[in-house]
Chains A and B, each alone.
Chain A
Amino acid sequence: METLQHFALLLVGGALVNNILLTRFIGICPFFGVSGAMETSVGMAGAVVFVMTLATTATWVFWNVLLEPLGVGEFLYIPAFILVIAALVQFVEMYLRKMSPALYRSLGIFLPLITTNCAVLATATESVRPGFFTMGVEYTFGFGEALVYTLGVAIGFGIALISFAALRERLEVAPVPEAMKGTPMAFITAGLLSFGYVGLGGLFGL
């Protein structure tokens, strides 16, 4: 039971309390880039859940099997993780194109975009060296914990992206002052949306 609660807290902490987009600003580029239309936002959210989970699996194994035992993790992790993630995304893209054309059509164009998405690298980094999300104590995530945490973060990304896309669709027809049209108004809307997440701060002591 204890562990179940622990995993549930990791999931909620990653998804809502420390929402990666609205409270920590990681991965803001696609947030403003693709949120113009509902359809692309849903596709992007799906692709992020998929890639982020895979990427953390790969980098966690890579860190614990290769980098950490060899003692080179401290100064090689940045290029190593980027290359692992980029290679992984390439393989996934090729595999999907061949094996599942339907899924490829819905996720395809987002996959290369995600390689350079900071959210994926940040989550992968935090899963092996948790400096930000420690729940009070410094410790290293086990494999299961890393996976659940990543899943939580990815779901939080999806929730924020899709709700923001819905807001922006309404904003299209709203009367906005000339100078604020477009991006400035989108930022202010995002600010108002993130007010909601202020209220979640400190929930369950996360």
Chain B
Amino acid sequence: MREWVAVYKRGLALDNPLTVLMIGLCAVLAVSTKVEGAFFMGLAVIFVLGMSSVIVSSIRHLVPEKVRIPVFIVIIASFVTIVDLTMKAFLPDVYDFLGVWIPLIVVNCMILGRAEAFSYHKPVRLAIADGLGMGTGFTIVIVGLAFIRELFGSGEIVFLGARLLSLPAGYPAPGILVLFPGAFIVFGFIVALTGWYNRRTAGRTVETSAHCTIEEGGR
């Protein structure tokens, strides 16, 4: 059990897929204009990552080394299709907002990367912990980024039609935060902050580098 928790917690800060491993960034920068969209994107990723980790891990002895990548992709694509159709049926507004980013979860290198680097080699219960942990880490960062951008960029946070939080009237909202440069700049500061926090608490040098290059995405 302690091992399970340890694996789960790695995804939250030390090995956070977004701010430390730098994989699967595209969706985060794009959908973090609204807390609502970011939240459901996070849920979709937790579901796909958790389920694909379970399946990949449970068939790891049956899948030969050579065909593993196509097999992973088909498994991931099936779960993404489930999310795609479910969201279209029950949350049409969110679906329209997320648009092309739902099908793009398939090629999110975070999911393929975790299947390749973790689930394919580990027993099912640890694979679940890793999938859920990485998914939760993803959700925390994406919702946090969306929170900053929506609150300060538009002055209020609207979640499923209800206004949760708003800054006092007359606040001059800098619209640039909601536009695309805001995503890059705010995220840059979040990365710097996580790196600083990790160095402080763990006393561990964390390599922040764009990971989704030849070794992650390139098979």
Which residues of A are interface residues toward B (Cβ below 8 A)? 22-30, 32-34, 75-79, 82-83, 86, 109, 112-113, 115-118, 121-122, 125-126, 131-132, 179-180, 182-188, 190-192, 194-195, 197-198
Contacts and interface: CB of A to CB of B under 8 A. Distances in A.
B192 A179 contact: yes
B195 interface: yes
A64 to B, nearest CB: 18
B71 to A, nearest CB: 11
Interface string B80-112: 110011000000000000011001101111001
Contacts of B183: 25, 191
A131 B95 CA distance: 12
Contacts of B100: 26, 122, 125-126, 131-132
A32 B30 CA distance: 15
B181 A122 contact: no
A33 B212 contact: yes
Q: Which bucket holds chain B's interface residue count? A: 35 or more
Interface core residue of A34, A78, A180, A194 (most chain B CB under 10 Å): A78
Given A29-B23, A75-B81, A121-B106, 11 more contacts: A25-B26, A25-B30, A25-B183, A26-B26, A29-B210, A29-B217, A32-B25, A78-B103, A79-B78, A131-B100, A187-B185
Q: Determine the main DSSP class of A at the interface with B.
A: helix
Interface in B97-143: 99-100, 103-104, 106-109, 112
B106 A109 contact: no
B85 A121 contact: no
A191 B218 contact: no
Interface of B: 22-27, 29-30, 70, 73-74, 77-78, 80-81, 84-85, 99-100, 103-104, 106-109, 112, 176, 179-185, 187-189, 191-192, 195-196, 208-214, 217-219
B81 A86 contact: no
B26 A116 contact: no
Contacts of B109: 29, 116
Given A25-B29, A125-B100, A117 B184 contact: no
A46 B185 CA distance: 28
Contacts of B23: 29
B191 A30 contact: no
A183 B22 contact: yes
30 contacts: A23-B180, A25-B27, A26-B26, A28-B25, A28-B26, A29-B24, A29-B26, A29-B213, A32-B22, A32-B25, A33-B212, A79-B78, A82-B106, A82-B107, A86-B70, A116-B107, A116-B112, A121-B103, A121-B107, A122-B100, A131-B99, A132-B99, A182-B208, A184-B188, A184-B189, A184-B195, A187-B187, A188-B185, A191-B184, A198-B180
Q: Determine the main DSSP class of B at the interface with A.
A: helix
A75 B213 contact: no
A121 B104 contact: yes
Given A121-B104, A182-B209, A25 B218 contact: no
A188 to B, nearest CB: 4
A180 B192 contact: yes
Given A28-B29, A32-B22, A33-B213, A78 B181 contact: no
A107 to B, nearest CB: 13
A118 B77 contact: no
B180 A118 contact: no
Contacts of A197: 180
A109 B104 contact: no
Contacts of B217: 29, 113, 115-117
A29 B70 contact: no
B65 to A, nearest CB: 16
A44 to B, nearest CB: 10
- The 7 lowest CB-CB distance pairs between A and B, nearest first, are A191-B184, A187-B188, A29-B212, A32-B210, A33-B213, A184-B192, A191-B185
